[in-house]
Amino acid sequence: MAKAAATGAVFNQGLNDVLITMGLLRNRNIDASSAATAFREATRRVGSDSRAQQAILGAGVQVFDQTSGQMRSMVDIMNEFASATRDMSEQERNRRVVQAFGARGLLAFNAVMNASFTTMRDGREVTLRGAEAIEALRSEMQGAEGTAGRFREQLLDTFEGQKTLLKGTLQTFAVVLGEPFAQVFKPIVRLLVNVLNAILRAFQAIPAPIKRIFAGLVTAVGGFLMLVGGVIAAKAATALLAIGFKALGITIGGILATLLPAILIVAVLGAVVAGFVVAFRRNVGGIADFARRMWERITLFFRGLRQLFEQGGFSGAVREELNRAENQGLKRFLISLYQIVHRIKQI
């Protein structure tokens, strides 16, 4: 629910409409996670994808308010789109629906199109459908605003309630305050990404044999230069030390006596490092297993990040791994990171 509301806020969707859409999806026995994904995908496509917007505009439905320039309610857009495409051929209608809302967003569109709401009128039970059902649901939500206000006042009567309300206000303030900074950083980030992508494409275009030859040359030249530099530095240092020692009257024996404790410390550190290497190779105390687990989590992070930006969600083995209890924190972090980047892209 929080993810759906966050996406709705980015695209100027009221909380009531988010709740209505989520409720209609849940009434169709769609789990909360899939319902949130359906709403977010439909909203993201309609609000930012030019092809999706063209499919809706081509049916005679406006995506943005002509006066304010802000995105209209997704519920209204889907409701009007369903009416506008009702008389089209099935082939044309299906093409426009998929282009407008995407495979994941179809769930949200179908839920709004087939909306129903049962209420009492004139002492008898009546089932409303379509636009009438949506209006009735909105009336119910507006009627609940007074209850929400009273609930807020009750929260303010307790210290825990005050902390909860203050936390929500601070989060909203942080989002609003961060928008100007996101606008400033947008061109910088875009330039950096373009430069890195250009370098990556250039490197990928190099044939594999040439890449291996280039890597070998760089390694060989680097090693040779380090060796030459080390020899030159050692000769210069020896000459300077000899001159300095002679001027100060310092003997080699005195130097060794002074440096012996430091040499012993270095030797002990070397022994510790060697012991760590042996312990890792023999998996003493499970240290190798711990390192492997950390590497697997790092690999899972980058695989999940790639799927998010390429597919808009997780799939296959990555989804199975992230659904495990020990990876829930990593999953939440990936989703939060994706939302932040997506929000910056929309500015």
How do residues 26-67 score in pLDDT, each as one tens digit? 777 788 888 888 888 888 888 888 888 999 999 899 999 888
Q: Calculate the average pLDDT of the chain.
A: 74
Spatial distance between the Cα atoms of 291 and 269, rounded to a whole number of angstroms: 21
CA distances from 230 to 206, 234, 238, 241, 248 (A): 33, 6, 12, 16, 26
Cβ atoms of residues 56 and 24 within 8 Å? no
Name the helix (H) or strand (E) containing 332. Answer: helix 328-346
* Termini Cα distance of the chain: 23
| Listed range (180-184, 188-192, 303-307) with the worst mean pLDDT | 180-184
Q: Give burial (CB, 10 Å; 0-12/13-18/19+) of 7.
A: buried
226 vs 318, higher pLDDT: 318
Q: Give burial (CB, 10 Å; 0-12/13-18/19+) of 97.
A: buried
Q: Give burial (CB, 10 Å; 0-12/13-18/19+) of 3.
A: middle
The two structure tokens encoding residue 298? 């790092």
Question: E-assigned strands of the chain?
Answer: 116-121, 124-129
Long-range CB pairs of 186-194, under 8 A, 24+ apart, other chains included: 186/344, 186/347, 189/344
136 Cβ contact list (under 8 Å, min separation 6): 117, 119, 128
Task: Work out the average pLDDT over 265-272.
Answer: 71
Q: What is the pTM of this model?
A: 0.39
CA distances from 82 to 19, 49, 54 (A): 20, 19, 15
